Amino acid sequence: MPLPIVLALRELRHDWISALCFVAALVGVLAPMLILLALKTGALDTMVERLVDDPANRELLAVGAGAHDEAFFRWLEARPEVGFVVPATRSINALADAVVVSFPRRSVVREVPLVVSAAGDPLLAGEVGPGRVWLSAPLAKSLGAAPGGVLTMVIGRRIDGLEQTARRRLEVAGIVPAERYGRPALFLSLPDMLAIERFRDDPAVTPDSWLQAAAPPAAFASFRLYARTLADLGPLSAALEERGVSVRPRAENAALLLQLRRGADRLYLAVAALAAAGFWAAMSANLRGMVERRRLAFSLLRMLGLAPAQRATVPLIQSLVLIGAGLGLSLALVLPSLALINASFPAVAEGAALARLRPDQLGGAAVLACVTALTAALWAMAAVLRIPSEEVLRHG
């Protein structure tokens, strides 16, 4: 083993109580920081991510009815901020008079909101199609419907005092979970929505002909629009406003989520930076102090011919060993503590760990520890090199 390593380790072993105190001081700084980081990663980040990932927070609602042509939708689809967009009819037509399930038992739900959907709908785990619909969980529960089931949608209109109804047999393709959409709703394709609008608006369309293919309208009254990410909401709104299209986010506080996440990151960084600075200063001062306590030994080693680089390596190795031990001991205490925290509060994070450290965070901590060890040793190394060999001649 190279002599500087032998000297560094022998000194630590010989003066093990001081070394242990040193390591304990490091653990005192490192362990709370790791637990804080684990809580931030586990509790705060997970919960904020869930909110950030909730598509409802990324939805922009059109204010009022408009006339949006195909060029408008091509423009929207080409924008990088757009996650999903589909043309929609006027909201007055987005209501079915009733939805009926006949099997295994008959049930009827009246005045069912209709939501136009298409491939890529962030609320759905699949897609709708002509005659294939998705039900929100509350509606499915009211109807007693399940995927693969069949239902009938009833659309009514009044022409010249005469009430007419059109019926459409629909297959249930899937159920939208309640956490994605908590109100009764029927998700259906744009062609089906357009058929409903034609039936309600055009007296020439009859209950027998309303499902026949027809040319799409020149313009759509509205749209369903989702930004790709929460951060895209602002720029997308601005772009639409610039085009004269008034929109508002469904979740008014969505932007606050981003601020919360950024704020939490900054807060932790500030705390971590302060702790790291204190840790560095304590490490640096302690190593310097160790050199001071061993001045005569270093002076003697110089007189005996130990090369400058070898002498300077001694505090460097001690720094690495002490910080390595501090990090190792911290993890040995922190990891079981995290397991205990997660076991004690299983419901807080709803399935995810309340406190967790990612491998990249552990790696980052190790790299940071090494960098701290190397840089904090510089003062001590410089001090070692300045100790003259004649010192040991004069002081015993």
Using CB under 8 A as the criterion, which residues of the chain lie in contact with other proteins when the complex forms?
3, 7, 10-11, 13-15, 294, 296-297, 299-301, 303-307, 388-390, 392-396
| Minimum CB distance to other proteins, residue 17 (Å) | 13
Among 233, 323, 295, residue whose Cα is nearest residue 52: 233
| Minimum CB distance to other proteins, residue 1 (Å) | 11
Q: Which tokens belong to 9? A: 């380790």
Cross-strand pairs, 112: 96
Nearer residue to other proteins within complex by CB, 72 or 298? 298
| Minimum CB distance to other proteins, residue 15 (Å) | 7
Nearer residue to other proteins within complex by CB, 200 or 294? 294
Nearer residue to other proteins within complex by CB, 3 or 271? 3
| Minimum CB distance to other proteins, residue 301 (Å) | 7
Nearer residue to other proteins within complex by CB, 299 or 313? 299
| Minimum CB distance to other proteins, residue 305 (Å) | 5
| Minimum CB distance to other proteins, residue 315 (Å) | 14
Contact 90, 221 (CB under 8 A): yes
Nearer residue to other proteins within complex by CB, 16 or 103? 16
Token pair 């040319």 is found at 215
Residues 1 and 183: their CA atoms lie apart, in Å, by 72
Residues 286 and 32: their CA atoms lie apart, in Å, by 20
Contact 322, 369 (CB under 8 A): no
Token pair 């640096």 is found at 284
Residue 339: alpha-carbon gap to chain centroid: 22
Contact 35, 337 (CB under 8 A): yes
Q: What does 50-96 look like in DSSP terms, one character per residue?
A: HHHH-GGGGEEEE-S---B-HHHHHHHHHSTTEEEEEEE--GGGSEE
| Minimum CB distance to other proteins, residue 355 (Å) | 41
User: What does residue 177 show for φ and ψ, rounded to 5 degrees?
Assistant: -60, 155
Nearer residue to other proteins within complex by CB, 222 or 318? 318
User: Measured on CA atoms in the order 110, 115, 121, 123, is the torsion positive or negative?
Assistant: negative
User: What does residue 229 show for φ and ψ, rounded to 5 degrees?
Assistant: -135, 170
Nearer residue to other proteins within complex by CB, 7 or 137? 7
Nearer residue to other proteins within complex by CB, 40 or 311? 311
Q: What does 216-242 look like in DSSP terms, one character per residue?
A: PPSSBSEEEEEESSGGGHHHHHHHHHH
| Minimum CB distance to other proteins, residue 317 (Å) | 14
Residues 61 and 295: their CA atoms lie apart, in Å, by 74
